[in-house]
Amino acid sequence: MPRTICNPLDLPYRYQIKIAPGKQAEWIFREGADPTIIRWRDRFLLFASMSGGFWHSRDLMSWEFKATPELPIHDYAPDVREIDGSVVFCASHRDSLCTFYRSEDPISETFEPIAQTMEFWDPDLFQDDDGKLYLYWGCSSTEPIFGVELDRQTFKPLGSPIPLIDRDESRLGWERKGENNHVGEPKNAMEAAILAHTGNRPFIEGAYMTKWNGRYYLQFAAPGTECNVYADGVYIGRSPLGPFEYQAWNPFSSNPGGFMQAAGHGSTFQDFYGNWWHASTMRISVNENFERRIGVFPCEFDEDGLLHCDQRFACHPQVMPKKRRALDQVETPWMLLSALGRADASSQEDGFSAENAISEDCRCWWAAKLDDADPWVQIDLGRLAEVHAIQVNLADHKLPDSGIEERELVDSGAYFKRIIITEDQPTRFLLETSEDGSAWCPVADTRDGRSDRPHAYFELSEPRRIRYVRLSGIKAPMGGRAAVSGLRIFGCEDGSEPDTVRSVRSQRTEGGLSAELSWDEAAGAAGYVVRYGTDPKKLYGSWQLSAQSSTNLTLSTLDADKRYWAAVDSFGPCGVVQGEPFPIGDAADESPKSSQAQCDSTD
């Protein structure tokens, strides 16, 4: 039985066809985002935008889908909560009243409408211990997050909405809009139109309430879902409607680097053993800005009540515990082996080389040529290694025109019509391993078309001592081209750990909102993780980098009025070597400081 998971979650993310008015533009892409996960009876329920239904699981590893045609599946940010023993659903809709739905048993029964009371976007219901019911909502570059108490029977507001959280991008660097918190030039006409409509201000959205130890943790997302720095922050209050104060550590969920980036607009929940998890949105945003996936990350409240996630290796395998665990007990000893390997393929389209399959960037991929009748891609690790798990990430490359007429689509606001394809779209391939490149042993064969797994994760029942991994017989869904964004191999390799990162140089910039970090290359490193925080013993933030891409980082997610510490870790096929924490400057100074640290020790 499997005991680990790997982000993005191994789910059959649904295709949708999205068309602008008058067929000015058309997109076909997979999407799953804005996840709400709740524990309900003996299982977990997972609702996500544009999925056509929900998934349920008993262990957070194996998920089963149930379609919900009775629900408004084209409305974004579906929210579910257990309210007075029933599961209550609501979702976003502008320009009309939103409806609440209830089910006594969503696994075996349908949802029924119970009330239609008000208009909202990105909603979150919360029932307090005293039975009182509250609604939080907001998704705007100009308006705050609101909250209001609801009548438990009618779901109508008891009073006027109260503004609770607003943007503060002049002081909070992580709230600044754009890739790496900087707005670039639009890449296409649609991006230009969106920028003209919303401006440079961040979106504040995705409210979610968690109560812990008598305090109320109101979570929210910023600055925009298409950005690598899309993250979740939190304010803390003593009552459900505040007032709320900005948590001393923010954003508490942030994943701006690594294979698949972003970790915003999510939900926080406990498993059956009392362990805390945070589910959130990860982005691809290549075929369309809303091309997104779902990640689940371990989190906890520390001794000071600070909510924080461990996202240092956000897309590496993590253990699903069967007891109460410490945060570091989610890690496996397995390292990424494929990044320093060599890739080969049956063919490759110009600009989509085989090396992209091991580049550790989901936004670029290998693609076979159009006339390749038997596409395959193969990884040579360079030497034998003990492999424990393999993740196969398929990309959507040059999908053909849908041919679906506009009359078949559903209105989805003022800007688009769309249809969600709720049926599985089989992902076909043969995954094999080999010691010598001649004799091959299968891991998985999905060529029978019975599974839809664009991010298939395989934990081997027994570790294998191998050198080669091959993916063949690839047939892409929806008539697309064979394409792989990540053939990722995890395990243990004999040899030495990478060198310790030394001579780290730092300078606080942009009025304290950012810091420029650079360091000397560490021999044997496949990449680096920059950990940072407001306390040298609480480096809760992280930013993963590939060694091939950089030995420097613009750390753009800082609060201007806080002092920060950082450490740069090196990692490779044989392990992780932690760097020594050092101060990166005092944001209270009018002029930025430079500092240099010799990181000569390891933990």
Q: Is residue 160 part of a domain?
A: yes
Q: Are residues 384 and 308 in the same domain?
A: no
* pTM reported for the whole predicted model: 0.94
Q: Are residues 380 and 290 in the same domain?
A: no
Do residues 430 and 473 make contact, with C-beta atoms less than 8 angstroms apart? yes
- What pLDDT was estimated at residue 416? 76
pLDDT over threshold 70, residue 597: no
Q: Give the separation between CA 587 and CA 592, rounded to whole angstroms.
A: 7
- What pLDDT was estimated at residue 603? 34
Q: Is residue 17 part of a domain?
A: no
- What pLDDT was estimated at residue 418? 86
- What pLDDT was estimated at residue 24? 60
Q: Are residues 64 and 102 in the same domain?
A: yes
Q: Are residues 266 and 315 in the same domain?
A: yes
pLDDT over threshold 60, residue 465: yes
Give the domain extent around 531.
504-597
Q: Is residue 243 part of a domain?
A: yes
pLDDT by residue (tens digit) across 399-436?
886 555 554 667 665 567 888 999 999 999 999 999 99
Which is more confidently placed, 62 or 185? 62
Span 99-117, mean pLDDT?
Answer: 96
Strand 417-421 and strand 410-411: the pairing is: antiparallel
- What pLDDT was estimated at residue 39? 97
- What pLDDT was estimated at residue 482? 97
Do residues 220 and 233 make contact, with C-beta atoms less than 8 angstroms apart? yes
Q: Is residue 239 part of a domain?
A: yes
- What pLDDT was estimated at residue 404? 59
Q: Is residue 166 part of a domain?
A: yes
Which of 492, 517, 533 terminates a domain? The answer is 492
Q: Are residues 420 and 561 in the same domain?
A: no
Band of the pLDDT at 596, cuts 50, 70, 90? very low
Q: Is residue 21 part of a domain?
A: no
> Residue 298 belongs to a domain with what CATH number?
2.115.10.20
Q: Give the separation between CA 536 and CA 562, rounded to whole angstroms.
A: 13
Q: Give the separation between CA 269 and CA 296, rounded to whole angstroms.
A: 10
Q: Are residues 206 and 304 in the same domain?
A: yes
Q: Is residue 22 part of a domain?
A: no
Span 230-238, mean pLDDT?
Answer: 98
Span 214-229, mean pLDDT?
Answer: 97
pLDDT by residue (tens digit) across 250-275?
999 999 999 999 999 999 999 999 99
Q: Are residues 589 and 488 in the same domain?
A: no
Angle at 332 between CA 249 and CA 569, to 5 degrees: 55
- What pLDDT was estimated at residue 409? 64
Mean pLDDT of the chain: 92
- What pLDDT was estimated at residue 19? 83
Q: Are residues 88 and 149 in the same domain?
A: yes
Which of 436, 459, 492 terminates a domain? The answer is 492
What Cα–Cα distance (Å) separates residue 587 from each residue in 235, 508, 513, 515, 534?
Answer: 21, 7, 8, 10, 11
- What pLDDT was estimated at residue 550? 82
> Residue 481 belongs to a domain with what CATH number?
2.60.120.260
Q: Is residue 10 part of a domain?
A: no
Q: Work out how many domains the chain is built from and give that number.
A: 3
Q: Are residues 212 and 252 in the same domain?
A: yes
Which of 279, 300, 330 terminates a domain? The answer is 330
Q: Give the separation between CA 334 and CA 388, rounded to whole angstroms.
A: 7
- What pLDDT was estimated at residue 592? 35
- What pLDDT was estimated at residue 505? 93
> Residue 575 belongs to a domain with what CATH number?
2.60.40.10
Q: Are residues 277 and 150 in the same domain?
A: yes
- What pLDDT was estimated at residue 94? 79
Nearest residue to 434 via CA among 379, 485, 394: 379
pLDDT over threshold 60, residue 601: no
Torsion (CA) 584, 589, 591, 592 in degrees, nearest 10: 10
pLDDT over threshold 80, residue 199: no
Q: Are residues 158 and 269 in the same domain?
A: yes
**In the chain, % of residues over pLDDT 90:** 85
Q: Are residues 351 and 234 in the same domain?
A: no
pLDDT by residue (tens digit) across 495-526?
999 999 999 999 999 999 999 999 999 999 99
